[in-house]
Structure 1
Amino acid sequence: MTLKSLLLASGALLTGTAASAGGYQVTLAGQKNNGMGGVGVGLSLDQAAMFYNPGALTMVKDRGVQVGVNATMARQAFRSQYGGAQRELKNNIVTPFNLYAGFGSEDRKFAAGIAVYTPFGNKVEYADGWEGRYSLTGIDLKSIYVQPTVSYAVTDKLSVGAGMVILAYGAVNLQRDIPVEGAAGSGPAHVELDGKATTKLGFNAGIYFKPTEKLSIGASYRSKIDAKVEGGDVKFTNVPTSLGSRFTATEFDATLPLPATTSLGIGFMPNENLTLGFDVNYVEWSKYKILQFDFRGNNGAGGLVSPSGQVGGSNISTSRREYEDAVTLRLGGQYLLTSGLTVRAGASYDFSPVKDGFVTPETPDADRIGLTLGASYKFGNFGVDVSGQFIDLKKRTQTEADLVANNTADRVAGTYKTRVLIPGIGLNYTF
């Protein structure tokens, strides 16, 4: 395989294997919502409204505390354009979690709460010797968001709310091989980037309107946050002594935009036992044009192949992304079977923001279909929520000609296919 340029920027700063949303966005914030295709903007199900629509928090029937965890299990396969064995990810399980605590005034005019959730996080390891090893061998990333939230009922049918979104913790470990042979028989040189993101602030605001007992409408907006890693560690291994002067970088800086999302939702309650929801999410991915790594030290680009085809060169590594704005459609419902048992089902269709010729190995994104199931059982003030999701990404192929034409030869030509299974469980206490 001929790669015209091998850049360090693999695009994994705070990305994930897109468990339930396009690009590197992950939407696993509420256990009940997870079982309903991810709907929630036009509903007031529980305290997870802080994430889906802060304006609906005042309209939530019960105040309470809830915690949930999901296990994302991805099967990702790759086959090179030039043939050879099919490559598969090593098996890894990532466990994004959520925690909500909501409280309200006696007159139900005011509500407040705190939300903690993990919207980005993943662990990916490719098989040794795979064709894209000079783009990526593995990533391990974590993030935690904290969102204090307030909501106010303007009338008994209309409420508004907002929350401050805090990127409280973010960390990334990115590794790849370098196209430089190490000591005799030891394989290629290797580089590892390890860094933590600085704390950043954004906001999440929403409005909720319930004109009748059978209809509710919601809208929310989650602002863009620029996740920045400053002074991350750079570690080179197996570099031959003769090339040591070209691999002296010790730190790096990088920024990744976490895009703004505008959502609209409708809830329909034809009877007291059945609730249906439909959401549309519009994500401003077009803000993500380029990913740049700035390295501190001689040849900070990691001794990668420069545009001239020679090892060495710049202390700046850039990779084109050119994402497009994208839409996700979600549909789901729940039915109260008994006073304690509720069952759920849903589906989603997510349009990928990644254009042809721009697919990267850390997020081999494609249009995807999601199918979900869920259930809750309530006994007294306590409840248990379970959910399951199956996400099927369409097969995505890009050729060497595509990469050359788009000046994106820092990635690998071939075909990707990904499926994700996500079981989840949550506990809640209402009062």
Structure 2
Amino acid sequence: MSRFNRHLSLAAISLAALIAAQGGAQAGAFGLREQSTTAQGMSFAGAASGSGDVSSMYWNPATMTFQFGLQAEAHVAAVIPRSEISPTFTLPAGLSALGGSGDIGLDAVVPSSYVSYQINDRLWVGLATGAPYGLATKPNYIWGGQLYARTTSVFSLEAQPTIAYKVNDWLSVGAGIRAQYLKVRYFSAIGPSPVFPSPFAPSAGLEGDSWGIGYSLGATLTPAAGTSIGIGFRSAVQQDLEGEFQYAGVPIKSRVVLPESVSVGISQQVTDAFSLHGTVEWTNWSRLGSPRVYNGLTGTLLAASPTLPLEYNDGWFFSVGGEYTINPAWTVRAGVGYEISPIDVENRSPRLPDSDRVWLSLGATYNWSEQLSFDVAYSHLFTVGNTDIDIRPGHPSFRGAVFAADVDASVDIISASVKYRWDNPAKAIPAPIVRKY
């Protein structure tokens, strides 16, 4: 394959992720964790310490130094959520007569791609593309919670050029620049008064988009043969949304600061065929608060909807997993994760009725050749603990109507990836050139 065609193919993989990215939130709040088929097979255990191969650069750019030559990966995840909201008490009572939400979850596809190039035995460069945030919920148009949610969507794209440097045999560092696009739609019913229970109430809402810049940092430690420890940091990204309050046609502005996160991973080779992995991840969702919405013409708070009522807590994710190489062609893996959601009964709304949940995952890799391999993974997520909605005075979403409901939710995620090494695996990367003057 010519160099031109090779570069064209790599660009096409990255572009495909950018133009197709969309998704349903599966990483607490409206974050998307589905960035790697390989890591998903172990519920993302050890993602920051290299268990996701080239795709681990999403969590920790320093993990590129574990990869050799010129490699590219394309991943795609099908997210199949199910979430139904059943009103148990409303005030005015006429709201409950409008019925339940139906299934508010919308199936989604989340693609991502990665390219890593080893320049020499110390220096790597790469590119990651994907969608770090996504949300799409759409209840019945007429239902008991229509004053609090009709259509909600969050759409994102991100490209991250990355560099990594191997300091010595036990330490590597990495960094990346994140160029991120965000679009938000936020609609609900309105009426003659904030609690009017009419099935004919029209919809009104906010729509806006923005570009923002962030960065990522990471380091890996290999204190002993078969042991790797990784820590990755993804910065906050400020998004200055501009758009329109669509019911009145008023231009709006709102500043949203998306959260930073820290991922810590550890991987241990137990035998030649078996390895164990673990992950701890923290996401600073509490920095979102309730972003204010301003009239784009006057600069004053928008009277109709002055804030985006979020008030999330911080999120945590823990997982453990294992990987077993059956033979040179096949590797299997499994993992379990527990996610502490930033959303609970104090801030849960019908837009995103998230809660704590358990991840159960299986995955496999088939090596077609030394250069080409395929991965598949499946995860089932089920909620645990209190999943109720209880909107009353004091709740950040309260708009004059009391709304209490039960939530029944689960998620299935099926993903696949293709990986290819473009150079010759048998040809060693040359050492850095040393000149004497």
Could you say if the C-alpha distance between residues 327 and 378 of structure 1 is closer, same or farther in structure 2, counting changes exceeding 3 Å? same
Alignment gaps of 5+ in structure 1: 1-14, 237-247, 303-313
CA distance in 1 between counterparts of 2:416 and 2:142 reads: 37
Letter in 2 for 1:50: M
Out of 414, 418, 422, which is 1:423 matched to? 414
Letter in 2 for 1:118: A
Out of 204, 210, 232, which is 2:216 matched to? 204
Q: Secondary structure at the match of 1:413?
A: strand
Tell me whether 1:356 sits opposite 2:345 in the alignment.
yes
CA distance in 2 between counterparts of 1:44 and 1:334 reads: 9
Within 5 Å, which residues of 2 pair with 1:370-389?
A: 370-380=359-369, 381-389=371-379
**1:35 counterpart residue number:** 41
Within 5 Å, which residues of 2 pair with 1:35-74?
A: 35-39=41-45, 40-43=47-50, 45-61=52-68, 63-74=70-81
Q: Secondary structure at the match of 1:164?
A: strand
In the TM superposition, residue 292 of structure 1 has moved relative to its aligned partner by: 2.1
Asked if structure 2 preserves the Cα contact closer than 8 Å seen for 1:208 and 1:219, the reply is yes
Letter in 2 for 1:259: P
Out of 228, 235, 253, which is 2:246 matched to? 235
**2:279 counterpart residue number:** 279
Asked if structure 2 preserves the Cα contact closer than 8 Å seen for 1:124 and 1:139, the reply is yes
Letter in 2 for 1:105: I
Letter in 2 for 1:228: D
Asked if structure 1 preserves the Cα contact closer than 8 Å seen for 2:85 and 2:406, the reply is yes
Letter in 1 for 2:337: S
In the TM superposition, residue 86 of structure 1 has moved relative to its aligned partner by: 4.1
Q: Give CA-to-partner distance per residue, 1:272-301, whole Å, 9 cap, x none.
A: 211221010011122122132223469998
CA distance in 1 between counterparts of 2:357 and 2:373 reads: 31
Q: Secondary structure at the match of 1:332?
A: strand
Q: Secondary structure at the match of 1:48?
A: helix
Letter in 2 for 1:260: E
Paired residues, number: 386
Out of 74, 78, 87, which is 1:80 matched to? 87
Asked if structure 2 preserves the Cα contact closer than 8 Å seen for 1:298 and 1:315, the reply is no
In the TM superposition, residue 264 of structure 1 has moved relative to its aligned partner by: 1.4
Within 5 Å, which residues of 2 pair with 1:319-334?
A: 319-334=308-323
**Greater relative contact order (Cα 8 A, min sep 6): structure 1 or 2?**
1
TM-score calculated relative to the size of structure 2: 0.82
In the TM superposition, residue 420 of structure 1 has moved relative to its aligned partner by: 0.9
Alignment gaps of 5+ in structure 2: 1-21, 90-95, 424-437
Q: Percent identity?
A: 23
Q: CA RMSD in A?
A: 2.6
CA distance in 2 between counterparts of 1:117 and 1:321 reads: 25
Letter in 2 for 1:31: T
Greater CA drift, 337-346 or 317-326: 317-326
CA distance in 2 between counterparts of 1:72 and 1:294 reads: 34
Tell me whether 1:155 sits opposite 2:144 in the alignment.
no
Q: Secondary structure at the match of 1:171?
A: strand
Greater CA drift, 368-377 or 81-90: 81-90
Q: Give CA-to-partner distance per residue, 1:102-161, whole Å, 9 cap, x none.
A: 10024x211110000111123221012111111211123321111000000000221110
TM-score calculated relative to the size of structure 1: 0.83
Could you say if the C-alpha distance between residues 298 and 115 of structure 1 is closer, same or farther in structure 2, counting changes exceeding 3 Å? closer
CA distance in 2 between counterparts of 1:137 and 1:369 reads: 28
Letter in 1 for 2:277: G
In the TM superposition, residue 320 of structure 1 has moved relative to its aligned partner by: 4.2
CA distance in 2 between counterparts of 1:44 and 1:318 reads: 40
In the TM superposition, residue 30 of structure 1 has moved relative to its aligned partner by: 1.2
CA distance in 1 between counterparts of 2:311 and 2:182 reads: 24
CA distance in 1 between counterparts of 2:147 and 2:298 reads: 20
Q: Give CA-to-partner distance per residue, 1:11-64, whole Å, 9 cap, x none.
A: xxxx97431x21222111111001111121122542112112111111224530
Q: Secondary structure at the match of 1:114?
A: strand
CA distance in 2 between counterparts of 1:316 and 1:91 reads: 25
**1:193 counterpart residue number:** 206
CA distance in 2 between counterparts of 1:279 and 1:364 reads: 25
Letter in 2 for 1:29: Q
**2:382 counterpart residue number:** 392
